Amino acid sequence: MSLRTGFPEQPARVYFFGTCLIDLLYPEAGLAGIQLIRREGVEVIFPQNQTCCGQPAWNSGYRDEARAVASAQMACFPRDYPIVVPSGSCAGMLRHHYPELFQGTPQHKASLAFSDRIFELTEFLVQVLKISLSDVGKPVKVALHVSCSARREMGVAGDHQALLRQLKNVELVEPRRREECCGFGGTFAVKHPEISAAMVEEKATELVATGADTLVSGDCGCLMNITGHLGYRKETLQGSHIASFLWERTNAAES
């Protein structure tokens, strides 16, 4: 698994892979990601036949089932445009695990070409679009939680930070043990709920201890897990996907 070293010039158009969690639970985050890209003068296409990257089945050992879903996704993005994904976890699946999933199949070569076109959203905004943000929001303290896949598989923790640091009224803080997993882990939370609960309890405590007003993350799996627990504890700390947060802070019409 290797991290990307070079980046292309700004393209005329891109595909957007929304992810199933955003589709069902956080569609506004997907829309915000699309709007951030369009504002930079790039056309965004959202193919209607996309569903899920297949990661849940892949991480559960059901490889044939994952491959069927992955095949269907590859067919949705026929042209060679970059594919932008507002999730480190799904981007990691598409970019690093598709070639493993199709190893030894006739689609292996296609999966390599496909995975090469995958960009995580913050990576795309910073490295390809070289976006410049101007903050129109009120002063706020923000705690950043970078997902394990964004940090380790995609190597985009720095891009998350760079975007938030562009916002002049945002005080960025990170919790103690920031590199530790929040305990979601997809089906892990279902198979080992007690361990997952112990992990999210500690993560939430550290996030609350930062004194932040808002929790920002680039992954909806972590957000669903952490904000679910914060809500259960009736904490005031609210969660936001980084795309929604950036769009709200920089879109004068909405603030």
Q: Which is nearer to another protein, 112 or 190 (CB)?
A: 190
Residue 179, classified by CB atoms within 10 Å of its CB into exposed (0-12), middle (13-18) or buried (19+), is exposed
Q: Does residue 243 touch another protein according to CB under 8 A?
A: no
What span, in angstroms and rounded, lies between the C-alpha atoms of 187 and 59?
8
Instruction: Write the CA distances from 199 to 69, 158, 206, integer angstroms.
Output: 30, 24, 11
* Total residues at interface with another protein (CB under 8 A): 76
> Which DSSP state fits 98?
H
What does the block give as tokens for 43?
């056309």
Nearer to another protein, 58 or 170 (CB): 58
Single out the segment in contact with another protein by CB under 8 A; choices: 17-25, 117-125, 160-168, 246-254: 17-25
Structure tokens at 133: 């943000």
Of residues 70 through 99, those in contact with another protein by CB under 8 A are 71-72, 76
Parallel, antiparallel or unpaired: strands 238-241 and 214-217: parallel
Positions in 183-242 near another protein (CB under 8 A): 183-201, 224-225, 228-229, 231-232
Site for another protein contains 62 (CB under 8 A): yes
Is residue 159 a contact partner of residue 125, using CB atoms and an 8 Å limit? yes
Part of the chain binding another protein (CB under 8 A), chosen from 28-36, 110-118, 123-131, 157-165: 28-36
Stretch that binds another protein, among 52-60, 126-134, 208-216, 246-254 (CB under 8 A): 52-60
The C-alpha atoms of residue 243 and residue 253 are separated, in whole angstroms, by: 16
Stretch that binds another protein, among 54-62, 137-145, 158-166, 238-246 (CB under 8 A): 54-62
